[in-house]
């Protein structure tokens, strides 16, 4: 990964339904889990009242995006049918789009049909944990819809990924994976891409920290980087605690991610992430 690998100019904005999002300053994506089995119990939302309350709180705290997921992607998670995923996701997208029309909504799904219905219901971004590997129609669907796409790295499925973490050179293999996928997406007309290295997805704890240390390598791919570290097992297993006790260390790793080039922090705790960005900017502006 040298300068000769830099084949795109760094993109610093997203087109979100005709509105431009400036990424010259880091942004925060708040997580809204519509599942009963998300790894962090404090993020689970059971009904419309809870969804609206959490969304309102996150937006008031400065969330730049809300990311809605209706299929738990924690390691070992059981599969959810497309019908059940839709039943959880689409009404929530419609509710939030109507209640908070200025909010930017992302949908966390690897199914092209679900993603298309969500975009039609008011969502702006498709966040695909599988990078198009679990639904071969996803890339063409994103190109046709003309929406931003979060391209993440994962192997297998949430149920099998923890056993698929053998690499010769982790950072180099992920770089090649992203370079190939980006070319394919560009050929289909996709203009707005976000790169997510997939912390915790087919990587063990040490590999996650290695990847974080090498996050800056992926800047030369030419697209904004998203870091999803919030309360993950790489934190609470290292500290021998529970996800509910992992906020302080999450903030510490979010600062590292920002220093290595992350443009978006995907988090459960918006207020603390915004504070982290404020401190990061102060530090950067006083070198």
Tens of pLDDT, residue by residue over 93-114, are 999 999 999 999 999 999 999 9
CA pair distance 76, 235, nearest whole angstrom: 18
CA pair distance 276, 78, nearest whole angstrom: 34
Q: What is the mean pLDDT of the chain?
A: 92
pLDDT in tens, 226-243: 999 999 999 999 999 999
Q: Which helix (H) or strand (E) holds 73?
A: none
pLDDT at 231: 96
- In sequence order, what are the beta bridge partners of 267? 30
pLDDT at 37: 55
CA pair distance 75, 275, nearest whole angstrom: 29
CA pair distance 227, 253, nearest whole angstrom: 10
pLDDT of 150 > 60? The answer is: yes
DSSP 8-state symbol, 42: G
Active-site residues, by number, are 232, 266
Superfamily assignment of 23-284 in CATH?
A: Dihydropteroate synthase-like (3.20.20.20)
Phi, psi of 154 (to 5 degrees): -155, 155
Phi, psi of 105 (to 5 degrees): -110, 130
Domains of the chain, by residue range, sit at 23-284
DSSP 8-state symbol, 216: G
pLDDT of 92 > 60? The answer is: yes
pLDDT of 136 > 80? The answer is: yes
Nearest CA-CA partner of 216 in 272, 280, 262, 167: 262
pLDDT of 153 > 80? The answer is: yes
Reported as half-sphere exposure (CB side, CA atoms, 13 A), residue 104 has a value of: 22
Looking at residues 252-277, what average pLDDT do you find? 98
Q: Which of 1-10, 43-52, 132-141, 189-198 has the lowest mean pLDDT?
A: 1-10
pLDDT in tens, 172-218: 999 999 999 999 999 999 999 999 999 999 999 999 999 999 999 99
pLDDT at 261: 97
Q: Please, is 56 exposed, middle or buried when counting C-beta atoms within 10 Å of its C-beta (0-12, 13-18, 19+)?
A: middle
Report the greatest alpha carbon distance in the chain: 52
283: region left, alpha or beta (phi > 0 left; psi from -120 to 50 alpha): alpha
pLDDT classification of 44: cutoffs 50, 70, 90: low
Residues 6+ apart with CB under 8 A from 104: 16, 19, 21, 64, 65, 66, 124, 125
- pTM more than 0.85: yes
């Amino acid at each position: 990964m040298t300068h000769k690998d830099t084949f795109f100019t760094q993109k610093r904005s997203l087109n979100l339904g005709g509105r431009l999002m400036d990424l010259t300053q880091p942004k925060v994506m708040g997580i809204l889990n519509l599942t009963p089995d998300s790894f962090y119990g404090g993020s689970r939302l059971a009904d419309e009242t809870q969804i609206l309350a959490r969304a309102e709180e996150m937006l008031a705290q400065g969330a730049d995006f809300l990311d809605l997921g209706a299929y738990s992607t924690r390691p070992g998670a059981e599969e959810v049918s497309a019908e059940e995923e839709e039943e959880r996701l689409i009404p929530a997208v419609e509710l939030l789009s109507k209640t908070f029309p200025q909010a930017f909504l992302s949908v966390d799904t690897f199914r092209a049909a679900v993603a298309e219905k969500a975009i039609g219901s008011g969502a702006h971004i498709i966040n695909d944990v599988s990078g198009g590997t679990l639904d071969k129609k996803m890339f063409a669907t994103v190109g046709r819809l003309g929406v931003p796409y979060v391209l993440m790295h994962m192997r297998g499925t949430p149920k099998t990924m923890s056993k698929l973490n053998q690499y010769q050179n982790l950072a180099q293999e992920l770089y090649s994976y992203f370079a190939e996928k980006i070319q394919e997406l560009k050929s289909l007309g996709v203009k707005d891409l976000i790169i997510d290295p997939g912390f915790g997805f087919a990587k063990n704890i040490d590999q996650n920290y290695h990847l974080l240390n090498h996050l800056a390598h992926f800047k030369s791919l030419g697209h904004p980087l998203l870091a999803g570290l919030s309360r993950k097992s790489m934190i609470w297993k290292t500290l021998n605690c529970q996800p509910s006790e992992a906020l302080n260390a999450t903030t510490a790793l979010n600062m590292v991610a920002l220093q290595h080039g992350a443009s978006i922090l995907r988090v459960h705790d918006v207020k603390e992430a915004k504070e982290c960005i404020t401190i990061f900017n102060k530090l950067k502006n006083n070198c």
